[in-house]
Amino acid sequence: MNTMESFRLDGKACVITGGAGMLGAMHAEAVIETGGTAVLLDISEEALEKAKKRLSDKYGPLENKCHCVVADITDELSLRNAFSDIIYATGQVDALVNNAAIDPKTTAMAIDPLLTRLEYFSANDWTYELDVGLKGAFLCCKIFGSYMANNHQGVILNVASDLGLIGPDQRIYRKDGVPEDDQPTKPVTYSVIKHGLIGLTRYVATYWAANGVRCNAICPGGVYAQQDAAFVSKLENLIPLGRMARIDEYKPLVAFMLSPASSYMTGAVVAADGGRTCW
């Protein structure tokens, strides 16, 4: 194959978990713009409807470009039903992006920032967040990865984070005027999930290497999304490039990791973080 043409995903069906979320929608654009079919799998039907509308406004009739499926990745039966629906709709699965996660703001942080602290972090939030971030990724590997391994071809991309490589710098989450012991923090679950995804990546990469399934991880840094200016400034100071990522800045990386252009990569952990983890 011509090397530069290998960046394409023509005829490939790529399942994206959390596909209706902020970055999931960008991964979908990466797949569509390189000729593939983006299969958006998400627990939120409403968010999927919005994502589909946005994609059809941008790309016109979606037909073979995009399919949406409602499923809970923590529920094996729900995922098996989704798998059947996807095979019915697309006839195949060529790639899986394990992207879904729980935004910590939606759990402990929304109720009380104090609850993000290790001393108060609830076992329920631990279980819920690990179920989505790790068990969900494992179940998707089990169902979609096994199918791809049986077909002797496929790609799995796990979306970790720069915080899968380093510990969070809790100073950037601090709020003025809040007592020391009550300062909000990045929750422990985020670090555990993102480091865990890297372990899953290396396990699956070696497990299915002989079956033609590659598995890699990307470690994106934070994306600008109307965060508080003080937080942005503190985070930018930790990043050699001096800025957070633009929302669409990971699209070429995702297309590369899913396409045959990365054919000699498996078990790789690729940081795309403006250099944060090398400082």
C-alpha–C-alpha distance, residues 99 and 88, integer Å: 23
222 binds ligand NAD (CB under 6 A): yes
Residues 6+ apart with CB under 8 A from 234: 171, 172
Q: Which stretch binds ligand NAD (CB under 6 A): 8-16, 67-75, 87-95, 117-125?
A: 67-75
Task: Name residues contacting ligand NAD, limited to 125-144 (CB under 6 A).
Answer: 132, 136
Q: Are 134 and 200 in contact (CB under 8 A)?
A: yes
Of the pair 82, 155, the CB lying nearest ligand NAD is at 82
x/- site string to ligand NAD, residues 73 to 102, per CB under 6 A? Answer: xx------------------------xxxx
Minimum CB separation from ligand NAD for residue 271, in Å? Answer: 11
DSSP helix/strand/coil, 42: strand
43 binds ligand NAD (CB under 6 A): yes
161 binds ligand NAD (CB under 6 A): yes
Residue whose C-beta lies closest to ligand NAD: 21
Q: Quickly list H helices, the chain.
A: 22-33, 45-59, 76-90, 108-111, 123-130, 136-140, 146-150, 188-207, 229-236, 251-258
φ/ψ region of 183 (left if φ > 0, alpha if ψ in -120 to 50, else beta) reads: beta
C-alpha–C-alpha distance, residues 197 and 201, integer Å: 6
Minimum CB separation from ligand NAD for residue 161, in Å? Answer: 4
Q: Which stretch binds ligand NAD (CB under 6 A): 30-38, 82-90, 198-206, 219-227?
A: 219-227
Interface residue with ligand NAD, options 72, 94, 125, 129 (CB under 6 A)? 72
Q: Are 78 and 138 in contact (CB under 8 A)?
A: no
Q: In what order do the strands lie in the sheet with 213-220?
A: 66-70, 37-42, 13-17, 95-98, 154-159, 213-220, 269-272
Minimum CB separation from ligand NAD for residue 218, in Å? Answer: 8
Binding site for ligand NAD (CB under 6 A): 17-18, 20-24, 42-44, 47, 72-74, 99-103, 132, 136, 159, 161, 220, 222-223
